[in-house]
Structure 1
């Protein structure tokens, strides 16, 4: 029997840890502890967790540079897929609990609220990255795979813009996430 390396063992801890935000949100739903506007709170929190995981995925390469631990790259796909998971839950919560699956209201929202289109574009990019994240797709796409996966930077920018346009007065959170993403991208550019 092959012995598990530390990365494989760590994934057995990291994977369930990535589900903790969802478990906490489910608990808040079951205990009716989402505040006066539960649909908005749930939708917002799922979107914020998607953004947190996006920042975490973007932080892996800088962490590799600073620590010299190249095996950290083996966590990037898992973190990226959890980013997509929370982003899809964010959209589902919006459609189910805020719009009640009313497609006419969605069409009206798309017209009146451009931040929804920007957010949807970010999630479409993440979906393309998720679908092409397998080893088989990496082989099939060859050098195009790396170019495609650089779209994560565009998705991050769109996600921050979505959040920035969404807030009404206090821009602290979206500006903080935007700043973190800019720093992570600048670290990547630094040789």
Structure 2
């Protein structure tokens, strides 16, 4: 990948802290605002549907943004961007969890038997739940001490973020029952990000293939 600038961009400590504070403020503020609008009957005719749609799409938005940070940091180059990738990824997981628990609370009233049957019997919920499980594992192992303890296994686990993104997009597309309109733009963005990371993904596939042949 050709670099845009000859010298790397740097972000001093204070602007970096302010940027992280801004991400926290925007991400948590929007979640709080969604529930406030819902409680005050300002989310439209179907507030539950609006809440589920907003939390679900923003979980995907944030996931795709987190995946775009690494290639963007290399292309500019702007290595300090990588300092925000984990934070954005964790907010993607947060929005996905709020999306799931909102579904459980408002649609199924926390009927766990019904929730289990929905996950098993409705394929679009199955793939969405699979994406959530992957994001949960990635969030739980996102800290630096865990990364050090896991060693190379950490990177192998976190390569599953690409599978989570594709499963989340499949869930979203399936729920709307169309690949056109909004979903097609998400798929094009995801395809572009996968293309930019094609060398890494091919390396992972080849390594896995050679390992299976050696057994």
Distance 2:135 2:71 in 1: 20
Alignment partner of 1:149 is 2:158: yes
Contact preservation (8 Å) 1:35, 1:41: yes
Per-residue deviation at 1:31?
Answer: 2.4
Distance 1:168 1:159 in 2: 14
Larger radius of gyration: 2
Distance 2:169 2:179 in 1: 14
CA deviation vs aligned residue, 1:83-124 (integer Å, no higher than 9, x gap): 000000000000000111112322332344111110001000
CA apart distance, 1:154 = 0.2
Aligned to 1:121: 130
Q: How far is 1:160 from its partner?
A: 0.4
Which of 132-141 and 98-107 deviates more? 98-107
Give the deviation of 1:5 after TM superposition. Answer: 4.4
Does the alignment pair 1:37 with 2:49?
no
- How many equivalent pairs are there? 189
| Structure 1 contact 21–49 (Cα < 8 Å) conserved | no
* 8 A contact 1:54–1:80 mirrored in 2: yes
Alignment gaps of 5+ in structure 1: none
SS of residue in 1 equivalent to 2:13: coil
In 1, the alpha carbon distance for the partners of 2:132 and 2:116 equals: 17
1:127 Cα shift? 0.5
Q: Please, what TM-score do these two structures have when normalized by structure 2? A: 0.81
Q: State the Cα distance separating 1:155 from its structure 2 match.
A: 0.1
Partner of 2:18: 9
Q: Is the 8 A contact 1:40 1:98 kept in 2?
A: no
Q: Secondary structure at the match of 1:19?
A: helix
TM-score by length of 1: 0.91
Structure 1 residues 162-188: Cα deviation after superposition (integer angstroms, max 9, x where no partner): 011111357322221121111112122
1:47 equivalent in alignment to 2:56: yes
Instruction: Supply the distance in 2 between the matched residues of 1:164 and 1:118 (Cα, whole angstroms).
Output: 11
Q: Is contact 1:61–1:188 with CA below 8 Å preserved after alignment? A: no
- 1:63 counterpart residue number: 72
Distance 1:79 1:102 in 2: 31
Cα distance in 2, alignment partners of residues 94 and 43 from structure 1: 7
RMSD of equivalent CA atoms: 1.9
